[in-house]
Structure 1
Amino acid sequence: MRVGFYLSATQPVERVLPQVARAAVRAGQRMLVVGDTPLLARLDQALWDSAPDAFLAHGDAAHPHAARQPILLSAECRAPNGAQLLALADGQWRDDALAFERALLFFDEGGRDASRALWRDLKRREGVMLEFHEHDGTRWNSRS
């Protein structure tokens, strides 16, 4: 199981998550995006608007035909579309994320301390690989 920590200090998650979602879809992956209702509404709009020439098909996990969607938006860590890639868009860790092959935790400067504590906790767990990515305003940079 891999956990990616995604720090975006200068851009809100609805500006940066579509980049990651686009890469996941290109790689043939299905994604579940978890957050609260207001955040999911902003992400829904962002997935429509982020690249008008490259629409990202997505839907609400509670709606009919959720299983067909490559990207699902949900308030909980349940993936009717069979996704093994989970994006925790609200910066809140949920232990249910450990059931996925890969979990991405998006956070801003306000979530840095909690993310560091989570990193230390997850580092002690067997079978969990950690990675860190920081958004520089235009793209994601990976660091060890």
Structure 2
Amino acid sequence: MGAAKFYQLKESPLDVALPKLVVMARAQGLRVLIRTADPDLAARLDAVLWKGPDASFLPHGIAGGPHDDAQPVLIGDVPVKGFDYVICVGGADLTAAEVTALARSCIMFDGWDEAALAHARSQWKALTDAGCTAQYHAQEDGRWVLKAQKN
């Protein structure tokens, strides 16, 4: 069974932290779904990934295109089948069944936004109540630090 990792963004914004996670996942050969139901956020992340970290391009697409199945990274609100790693952003949900089906899963949320914090807490409770392992990571001095874990 996989673990749901919760990443609380307090030092760097999503636009900076997300591409770094995607680069690491792709270096390991993982196919990544960036899940969001917000079309504006999807468009913004599309632009961010076009530039990638250090001005490099990260091959990707937005869900609904003709080549979704071939995309190494897909942005949208689609089922997890065929993906190795799902990164939920913008309040997108993750189910216990998805956590167990994936090699990796995470929920990234803005640590300064009360609504995002409340949503992350409800996701934590739902997933751990369903028997999933959950890990909470916070940014400290530019790195991720494990702050809590529940099995």
Question: Measured at CA, do residues 4 and 10 of structure 1 come closer, stay the same or move farther in structure 2, by a change above 3 Å?
Answer: same
Question: Measured at CA, do residues 56 and 6 of structure 1 come closer, stay the same or move farther in structure 2, by a change above 3 Å?
Answer: same
Letter in structure 2 aligned against 1:46: V
Question: Measured at CA, do residues 34 and 123 of structure 1 come closer, stay the same or move farther in structure 2, by a change above 3 Å?
Answer: same
Q: Which moved more, 1:84-93 or 1:28-37?
A: 84-93
Letter in structure 1 aligned against 2:47: Q
Q: Following the alignment from structure 1 to structure 2, what is the Cα–Cα distance between the partners of residues 93 and 79? A: 12
Letter in structure 1 aligned against 2:117: R
Match of residue 45, structure 1, among 29, 44, 47:
47
Q: How does 1:110-125 map to 2 (within 5 A)?
A: 110=113, 111-125=116-130
Question: Where does the alignment leave 5 or more consecutive residues of structure 1 unmatched?
Answer: none
Secondary structure of the 1:90 match is coil
1:86 and 1:100 in contact (8 A); partners too: no
Instruction: Specify the alignment match of 2:86 in structure 1.
Output: 86
Question: Measured at CA, do residues 137 and 44 of structure 1 come closer, stay the same or move farther in structure 2, by a change above 3 Å?
Answer: farther
Q: Are residues 1:141 and 2:142 paired?
A: no
Alpha-carbon RMSD? 2.2
Q: Following the alignment from structure 2 to structure 1, what is the Cα–Cα distance between the partners of residues 136 and 43? A: 27
With normalisation by structure 1, the TM-score equals: 0.83
Q: Following the alignment from structure 2 to structure 1, what is the Cα–Cα distance between the partners of residues 141 and 44? A: 19
Question: Where does the alignment leave 5 or more consecutive residues of structure 2 unmatched?
Answer: none
Secondary structure of the 2:74 match is strand
Secondary structure of the 1:104 match is strand
Instruction: Specify the alignment match of 2:133 in structure 1.
Output: 129
Letter in structure 2 aligned against 1:135: Q
Q: Are residues 1:8 and 2:9 paired?
A: yes
Q: Following the alignment from structure 2 to structure 1, what is the Cα–Cα distance between the partners of residues 147 and 51? A: 29
Match of residue 70, structure 1, among 69, 72, 77:
72
Question: Measured at CA, do residues 139 and 48 of structure 1 come closer, stay the same or move farther in structure 2, by a change above 3 Å?
Answer: farther
With normalisation by structure 2, the TM-score equals: 0.79
Q: Following the alignment from structure 2 to structure 1, what is the Cα–Cα distance between the partners of residues 100 and 133? A: 14
Cα offset for 1:21? 0.5
Aligned identity (percent) is: 27
Q: What is the number of residues matched between the two proteins?
A: 141
Q: Are residues 1:34 and 2:39 paired?
A: no
Q: Which moved more, 1:85-94 or 1:45-54?
A: 45-54
